[in-house]
């Protein structure tokens, strides 16, 4: 029915808005690390996963000395 479709659409919209907000929060929280990765890519053109992890962790430690290290994937 139309009412059911409207409820489904509203719930999907709510989920997407929540996920969008969480994504922005994560990007803002890790902005220094993302900028460090971008700088490395501009300088070296390519980096591998291990280099990216080291850059991210070094920037994380620099901007938040009490932060836990990032576990490799």
pLDDT tens digits for range 1-59? 899 999 999 999 999 999 999 999 999 999 999 999 999 999 999 999 999 999 999 99
21-56 residues labelled b (16+ CB within 10 A) or e (exposed): eeeeeeeeebeebeebbeebeeeeeeeeeeeebebb
Whether 69 has a pLDDT exceeding 90, the answer reads no
Q: What is the pLDDT of residue 39?
A: 95
pTM check: above 0.75: no
Angle between helices 31-44 and 2-29 (to 10 degrees): 70
Nearest partner of 53 among 32, 70, 34, 67, judged by Cα: 70
Take residue 6 and report the two structure tokens written for it: 């409207």
């Amino acid at each position: 029915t139309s009412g059911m479709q409207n409820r489904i659409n509203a719930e999907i919209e709510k989920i997407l808005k929540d996920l969008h907000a969480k994504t922005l929060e994560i990007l803002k929280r890790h902005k220094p690390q993302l900028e460090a990765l971008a700088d490395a890519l501009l300088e070296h053109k390519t980096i591998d996963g291990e280099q990216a992890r080291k850059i991210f962790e070094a920037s994380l430690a620099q901007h938040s000395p009490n932060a836990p290290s990032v576990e490799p994937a």
